[in-house]
A and B are shown apart, each in its own frame.
Chain A
Amino acid sequence: MSQQSVFSSPGFDFSNSVRNNFLQEKGLPLPKATSTGTTIVGCLFKDGIILGADTRATEGEIIADKNCEKIHYITESIRCCGAGTAADTEFTTASISSNMELHALSTGRKPRVVTVMTMLKQYLFQYQGHVGAALVLGGVDSTGPHLFTIHPHGSTDKLPYVTMGSGSLAAMAVFESSWKPNMERNDALALVSAAVSAGIFNDLGSGSNVDACIITATQTEMLRNFVKPNERVEKERHYTFRRGTTAWKSENIRDLIINEDITLVGATGDAMDTS
């Protein structure tokens, strides 16, 4: 990759990345992509899978969106939480979701989580980590419930409980202390909530509310803003200005359309030519 060559090797050309790195070293600031910072988690329980996520999207140090949705739809019984670059997670999951619908129609079978996982990992591996999407994929299909993590470089792990994102260490601490196999729905939901909350309160990249999604063989339940531990307190005064605070001295109204001439195009007018 460091040598210049007349012959281009097969596969993608990442020379723009080399250029970007060079410019960055010279001092040119890279434009800040919106990152989802994030705490995303997934947990296997008795009846299926519960996915959880916080709702903060950051652009450098600023919060770009205080209540974004990080649990993306793949199919009816399969959802995917996304951490990393927001655009990458959004478009990657949407693209695979679209392909899965076509795949299901083509095979005539209900979609499987391993199929989604394979599509995602092969796509991300092809882009050698430049698509910054770290995903927690979970769902229930004809073979049972499955939970996967997918890293930006394309490696996957299959586990009963997973966390990703900047808040993953805080959330994993909660899981490691309390997860047990075959938990009841309410216990599992409380655990997921606690894990995401650990990320919200201990990680600067995560915050706002907890989203959860419970997927079982029979139904998928999306709990948007399941817990809202960061509601803004009511302001103590009204800070709006009374009408008439600013004096109104003169008025001038101009029409946007200055001159309009209508010319009909085509001798026969708008009727379709049939000969």
Chain B
Amino acid sequence: MNRLKSGEVNLGTSIMAVQFDKGVVIGADSRTTTGSYIANRVTDKLTHVHDRIYCCRSGSAADTQAVADIVHNYLQLYTQIHGAHPPVSSAAGMFQDICYDNKDALSAGIIVAGWDKEVGPSVYNIPLGGGLFRQPWAIGGSGSTYVYGYCDATYQDGWGRDETVEFVKNTLALAMARDGSSGGVIRMCVITEDGVERLFVPGDKLPKFWEGREVLSGPVKKSVEQTAMAIE
């Protein structure tokens, strides 16, 4: 069901967020399309809404930017009013209120993820209708449909930071390889108590999987080392 109006900019997208012991790793591709033209091939879909709370945006670029700006504003007010950092659940609740109450007019699939002192790391998935789902890992966007199987088969509880980053990177690379609306570079953020670390994987350094080389040429032969002929 394509709810985008004609001419509206679309965050085709593959986004995901995964919880690990000390924090969360969030990731996204970097493609924004208007119809079949790529309006921005280096988009940053990981949006800061608070020091330790980020959201991944998919769907209409205008809708998700507007919603994220509103929640960013609300969270700044929360911090001033309460004198404390907001829990991720509150931020997710704010997103949900806007997405659910305006479900007719919005086309926005958002994943909220972050770290707070009370609960630690958490990931909340808010798909199109405005429901709120807390999950250990969440994927979203048009590219996510291609990687549900890979994620179900690969994810394991109890991973550390590096394994989680590998998982996110591989999943997004697979989604970007199959989904026309996803592509470009991989942007990731690792959010922990100590801070937010931004990671970047350029388009030519994406993890490679099956490339179908056997179809065009013969199987890849291992070259035999030629030792130099001895001449006296």
A→B interface (CB under 8 Å): 1, 118, 121-122, 124-125, 128-129, 149, 151-157, 159, 169
Contact = CB atoms under 8 A, between A and B. Distances in A.
Nearest to A118: B69
A153 B60 contact: yes
B34 A151 contact: yes
A59 B29 CA distance: 39
B7 A152 contact: yes
Interface residues of B, number: 19
A118 B72 CA distance: 14
A153 B32 contact: no
A108 to B, nearest CB: 22
A118 B73 CA distance: 13
Contacts of A152: 7
28 contacts: A1-B104, A121-B65, A121-B66, A124-B62, A125-B62, A128-B5, A128-B105, A129-B62, A149-B40, A151-B8, A151-B9, A151-B34, A151-B39, A151-B61, A151-B62, A153-B5, A153-B7, A153-B8, A153-B60, A153-B61, A153-B62, A154-B62, A154-B66, A155-B60, A155-B65, A156-B65, A157-B43, A159-B40
B9 A155 contact: yes
Given A159-B40, A169-B37, A129 B5 contact: yes
Contacts of B39: 149, 151, 157
Contacts of B43: 157
Given A125-B66, A153-B9, A153-B62, 12 more contacts: A121-B65, A125-B62, A129-B8, A151-B9, A151-B34, A154-B62, A154-B66, A155-B60, A155-B62, A157-B32, A157-B40, A157-B43
Contacts of B8: 129, 151, 153
A121 B70 CA distance: 13
Contacts of B32: 155, 157
A118 B9 CA distance: 17
B42 interface: yes
B152 to A, nearest CB: 33
Contacts of A151: 7-9, 34, 39, 61-62
A87 to B, nearest CB: 18
Contacts of B104: 1
Chain B interface mostly? mixed
B62 A159 contact: no
Given A1-B104, A125-B66, A155 B61 contact: yes
A154 B37 contact: no
A264 to B, nearest CB: 62
A59 B152 CA distance: 55
Interface in B50-101: 60-62, 65-66, 69
A159 B44 CA distance: 11
A156 B105 CA distance: 19
Interface string B8-33: 11000000000000000000000010
A125 B68 CA distance: 13
Interface centre among B39, B42, B104, B105, by most chain A C-beta atoms within 10 angstroms, is B39
B223 to A, nearest CB: 36
Contacts of A154: 62, 65-66
A159 B43 CA distance: 9
Nearest to B11: A155
B12 to A, nearest CB: 13
Nearest to A154: B62
A151 B37 CA distance: 14
Contacts of A125: 62, 66
Contacts of B66: 121-122, 125, 154
A128 B102 CA distance: 13
Contacts of B60: 153, 155
Given A121-B65, A153-B62, A129 B42 contact: no
A154 B7 CA distance: 12
Contacts of B37: 169
A129 B40 CA distance: 19
A125 B43 CA distance: 19
Contacts of A157: 32, 39-40, 43
Contacts of B42: 159
A122 B66 CA distance: 8
Nearest to A153: B62
Nearest to A121: B65
A154 B61 CA distance: 8
Contacts of B7: 129, 151-153
Contacts of A1: 104
* Closest 10 A/B residue pairs (Cβ): A155-B61, A153-B62, A155-B62, A154-B62, A157-B40, A155-B9, A153-B8, A125-B66, A151-B9, A155-B65
